[in-house]
Structure 1
């Protein structure tokens, strides 16, 4: 007959697994294509409330500008985050084994909007009024493409048409930019 003490210990351990937390150690994170400080904050802190902290810890002046391959210090200050845990029901006399479910790190795949924003930040810092002496706007377009209409709506439309015609997608334009320093 199984002892009541063994049954209570087994049940208590299973409850402990259900409500366990994982302490995140300070670490170095390598930025992947499509990452944002917001998505990195969610991955390490469970919310996007630490974007400014990550930027400060890494001396990042523009929170919208990080680069694939860039290494970021993630300083968690010993904060904890809950992690989903898979529990298994076992008989109280059997050894209880902890089975943790791996939680996939949220990563933002390269999407049209992230690749487009990535280019805009490098070309103009995201400014629709930027000029370099010849090229104009957020995407540093040739003025002849804009036909005198420098409005943000027209810049967006023309940039989308230019990228679709030349590269097929913003992701391809980003890859070209990364290899050549321009698109």
Structure 2
């Protein structure tokens, strides 16, 4: 399942708005999407997943993100279907009924497509990092996923590498798919 299919699409008769902290963002109906930041997401990873482009400057600027390396789990990003993101004007906000000034998101994932996508991304990263070898070494980096030796605590077994890699990716990126998007954008994960 692609990131775009996981993003909640919403439709309101005339105008949709969402509150991000003290900033209200707005867009035309039927064309907009709200993306909720998950653990491990990066602006470049989100941009790449949506538009196959890593130029996330519009995304950061429109959401008034001054430190592009710092986004928060649960943060809402408004993304227009054409990729344009803009802050609402006071006039636009005033025309929207109070009941429509916030939008909630729900994400549904099919476990089989998520598992398949995750497994594919995991295999892709392992191939890029070590050619899939549990015995690969590159300085302080060890094994199939080229984890820092300090993460593995001296246990370089395949089972421990898998366990530690899953834990690392889960805590840093939220999913193997997000880790792959980051790798594609940055050349590492």
TM-score class, shorter-chain normalisation, is 0.3 to 0.5
- Using CA pairs below 8 Å that are at least 6 residues apart, which structure has the higher relative contact order? 2
**More strand by proportion, 1 or 2?**
2
Give the TM-score taking structure 1 as reference length. Answer: 0.40
Give the TM-score taking structure 2 as reference length. Answer: 0.39
